[in-house]
Amino acid sequence: MGTEGLPFGTTIYRLRLTLEFETGGRLPRYPGSAIRGLLGHGLRKVLCVTRQSTCNDCPLLASCGYAQFFESPAIGKDSAERYSAMPHPWVLDLTHPTPREVGTGDQLQFGITLLGEAANILPWVVLALDHAGALGFGGDRATFRLAGIEQESSPGNGGWHEIDRHALPQFGTDNAVLTPPPSAPDHVTVHLQTPLRLKHHGKLVRAAGFEMAIFLRALRLRLRELRRLYASSVESPLLPEIPDDAEAALIDCRVTWQDWTRWSNRQKTRMQLGGLVGEIDVDLSLLEDWWPLLWQGQWLHVGKQTSMGLGQYRLLTSL
């Protein structure tokens, strides 16, 4: 499989999963955390053979599919200083808007993007959701079944086809390369669909402190780390530098801070995970070299907590 056109040099598989509820209930305001929790619980159930309470000091850590998917250890001194765990080889995409109440027969659809060899774990993801469906979704434990799996024929092209779950893992791997971006427009609007969490000098960036250079730096860091961790080849195009006049490219910034609270089963406490939502108008004539990264970053997200679906954005090519 080729990796042409990818700034981080790895293959990418975009999938869309449909859950059908067997019992009704109220869903979380932001379901990304709950979906991640269901996947984690289900994968641990079907993949962990030692049944240890944690993955620490597990003799099978290096070869365990669950650990590689959910507990990616920091690699190297620089990474250990920057991350408690490495960026995961997958991203959640959430369909908007998500329902707050569901009844029997209602459906919830979400996407999952798998990078590189993480595609090999898809059959286990299916089994994990089968297991999680009996446990239920949200505080009301609305039970569900996995009703359908679709794959985008080529990542980013919008063409979806159904996958026979009984044919896994022989799903399509021939076109796992992002389609080239269209010709760069003069201007583009970055629509932040889910809360964007950026840090600058150790502090979360709020609306008043948003800068184009901070966004570009976070995008470049994410693509660089994904390339380093999951690329099949080290030969990839150099990533562009942030121009000195990056702020001049920021035409308008209409972002606000959106608070979001989740319950952490691991830490047994409520966590505040708010971020920026809204729109950013950008003059691309000052950022020509960044257009491919901005385009491809739509499928990879940016910032923190991407495995919960945060940092998801789409580009609108007309102001």
Q: What is the pLDDT of residues 208-243, one digit of tens each?
A: 999 999 999 999 999 888 888 887 665 556 788 999
Same domain for 145 and 17? Answer: yes
Same domain for 144 and 212? Answer: no
58 lies in some domain: yes
φ, ψ dihedrals at 246, nearest 5° = -55, -35
Torsion over CA: 92, 32, 298, 68 (sign): negative
Query: Each residue of 143-176: pLDDT tens digit?
Result: 999 999 998 887 778 889 898 877 665 555 555 6
CATH number at residue 47: 3.30.70.1890
Same domain for 194 and 157? Answer: no
CATH number at residue 227: 3.30.70.1900
Ranges of beta strands (E only) in the chain are 12-21, 25-26, 90-94, 101-102, 107-115, 144-152, 160-162, 187-196, 199-200, 203-204, 250-258, 261-264, 269-272, 275-283, 313-316
80 lies in some domain: yes
240 lies in some domain: yes
3 lies in some domain: no
Residues 6 or more apart in contact with residue 253 via CB below 8 angstroms: 207, 210, 278, 280, 281
> Of the residues 132, 167, 202, which one is the last residue of a structural domain?
167
Query: What confidence score (pLDDT) does residue 4 get?
Result: 41
Same domain for 140 and 230? Answer: no
> Of the residues 167, 201, 225, which one is the last residue of a structural domain?
167
Instruction: Identify the domain containing residue 276 by its residue range.
Output: 187-316
172 lies in some domain: no
Q: How many domains does the chain have?
A: 2
83 lies in some domain: yes
Same domain for 163 and 191? Answer: no
Tell me how far apart the alpha carbons of residues 38 and 92 are, in angstroms, rounded to a whole number: 13
Same domain for 16 and 153? Answer: yes
Same domain for 87 and 216? Answer: no
Same domain for 163 and 27? Answer: yes
Same domain for 87 and 204? Answer: no
Q: Which residues of the chain have pLDDT under 70?
A: 1-9, 72-85, 96, 167-179, 232-237, 262-271, 318-319
Same domain for 28 and 159? Answer: yes
pTM, rounded to two decimals: 0.87
Query: What confidence score (pLDDT) does residue 17 get?
Result: 94
Tell me how far apart the alpha carbons of residues 291 and 274 are, in angstroms, rounded to a whole number: 27
Tell me how far apart the alpha carbons of residues 300 and 314 are, in angstroms, rounded to a whole number: 11
Query: What confidence score (pLDDT) does residue 5 get?
Result: 46
Same domain for 276 and 227? Answer: yes
Same domain for 215 and 283? Answer: yes
177 lies in some domain: no
259 lies in some domain: yes
